[in-house]
Amino acid sequence: MSVTDYLLRECEVLDWWNTERLHVDEACRSALERYVDRACVAVDELSSYQLLYKSEARLHIQRKLQSDINVFNRRMELKLRKSCELSMARNERPDQFASFELRETAALMASGAAAVGAMGAAVAATGLATTATVTTVLGLFATGTIVTFSWPLFSVAAAVALSASYASPAIAGWATSKLRRRFKAYLSRMAEMALTDGNGQSARETLLASLDAARDARLAALEH
């Protein structure tokens, strides 16, 4: 491989990596806003009783938020895998691909003679190569990350105030409003931790780490 060819391939990898990092960041922040807004609407519909006690309606909001985030994670992993497949087929050497059809398609993609849609059809029909590099890189986007939440009491003081306040409608209304706000804030924080926190375990951090690992593996493969 000539120096010019190497540099062009390296630029393609880095452009792909940078573009997908931006997509991941935007998608995670958008998902956080969307899922929290949806959960807050559901919280507003809870009765005082449903809010105070561990009711099925309250548990449903928690389970739905967790389910939404897990589905989002899996969809993002699949999206990144497909993006990586297309980028590798455009950029990597045809001999990286196991099947004859995919080698031919990869060569066409590298020369600009095939459309992305055609490449997508070829990938779907034959699957990518079984070489160690390709298998390892694509495997980075198939982790099936599952988010689980711990749901401790979110507002003991407000709950106690509410349970003791039914003799006074004014106090009951205040306590219910406070408890509702606390529960919304609690759901928001749990979703933030799962989706965007810089804690090394959020969806954003996990997906970015997979992209970084894929970038490093692809760049290393270009040197051989």
Tell me the domain boundaries of the chain: 3-222
pLDDT tens across the length of the chain (224 residues): 678 787 888 999 999 999 999 999 999 999 999 999 999 999 999 988 888 777 899 889 999 999 999 999 999 999 998 898 888 887 765 555 444 344 444 444 444 444 444 444 444 444 444 465 677 777 777 766 666 666 655 555 556 666 666 656 676 777 788 888 888 998 999 999 999 998 778 999 999 999 999 999 888 888 77
End-to-end, the C-alpha distance of the chain in Å comes to: 9
> Which stretches within 92-155 are classed as H helix?
100-111, 116-126, 132-139
Are the beta carbons of 202 and 195 closer than 8 angstroms?
Answer: yes
- Predicted local distance difference test score (pLDDT) of residue 146: 66
Closest CA to 191 of 54, 69, 25: 69
- Predicted local distance difference test score (pLDDT) of residue 106: 41
Amino acid, single-letter form, for residue 29 = R
> What is the three-class DSSP state of 180?
helix
State the pTM of this model: 0.75
- Predicted local distance difference test score (pLDDT) of residue 157: 55
- Predicted local distance difference test score (pLDDT) of residue 80: 92
CA distance 195 to 190: 9
The single residue listed with the structure tokens 């009765």 is 47
